[in-house]
Structure 1
Amino acid sequence: EADEVSHFVVSRDDPGVAFSGVWDGAALRGTQTATMTMNEVEVPRHRLFLGVEGLSLFKLVREPHWMVSGYMGAYLGIAESILRLMVRLLKDNEGRRSSPVVQAEVGRLAVELRAARALVHSAARQVDEGRGSPEANTAVHAAKYCVGELAPRLALGAARICGSGALRTSGPLERLLREAAFCAVMPAKPDECLEYVGKSTLGFNMFDAQNFDW
């Protein structure tokens, strides 16, 4: 068996390509995450990723941001939406809004969001300035982990602070809570992010594919 991995662009209109029904998952409903099956599909060579066979794994090891950070901005946006919604809901409840306990909790979540945003922006800047560098690659994994852990925590905090009424299916918090939970299953997963950052911090060669448990 070959050790290399290649990616090809496959069109939904190619002969032999079929999709299952409408995705009915708890979240990701806007992504058309349906099961795709391919039966004897022929793909022309010009659709080969990077134009050379076997470069996908090399690309992922050298510049993981193209796969790891694909959803990072989306989940940062979800986290920011949750905090804005929390503030809006509390404006209609002066009793809770004036509570020192609630104020401290909202403050804690706002600080965590500021830290996550700064980490994401820093990672993006490092990719721009030093694409594929160990520092940029580590920063991307650190940012993905931070956002992935924060978004669900913010959603649960909003439900706790604003009360069960905020979780009506007609309201946005219920949807944001579902969407935030899915950040943990999008690459790279939380344990994978921590493993990468840990190995990088310990001085492992992160350009060596043997240091990955794929």
Structure 2
Amino acid sequence: MAHPPRLNDDKPVIWTVSVTRLFELFRDISLEFDHLANITPIQLGFEKAVTYIRKKLANERCDAIIAAGSNGAYLKSRLSVPVILIKPSGYDVLQALAKAGKLTSSIGVVTYQETIPALVAFQKTFNLRLDQRSYITEEDARGQINELKANGTEAVVGAGLITDLAEEAGMTGIFIYSAATVRQAFSDALDMTRMSLRHNTHDATRNALRT
């Protein structure tokens, strides 16, 4: 796919893609980086996001996309633009569990693709009733939430999709991503676009010397 050309003095163009609570966090953190990049929020997910972005790329340049969880993985596998995936840090997980622990001792943790093995030790140390689950699709996530509800879980830690589903089911949803983690994703996206620019500039210079 051909993208509009980039000028050396252009700021990087970053699109954030999210549909749940992450959208608001993206919006807040992007204000810290708007002097370094042109940032556009896209409040869509999965196939709707892919269709919209492909049309947008026909006329606009994008250097990187920032997304998270199952939505981010979906975009990454279907778009030509680099997708920076936000991943919760250990601190994010512990902070979310601490919030949940103030409300109840019956906590569920639902993460994309795989569970977090290190939480087993945490569970034993703090004597928490911690039920870990993983999901791939939204339907899968909904099934996990329904099972947790049936088992008596009262609070669920996870990404925006998970917290929304948990609250729909009458449980408390604890958002897993922190501002620091989202901030790091923006920094990673900027670093990647700068490296790409240096590489492209080097290639252009080398080609010019050959002619």
TM-score tier, shorter chain, comes to under 0.3
TM-score w.r.t. the length of structure 1 is: 0.26
Larger Rg: 1
- Which structure features the higher share of helix residues? 1
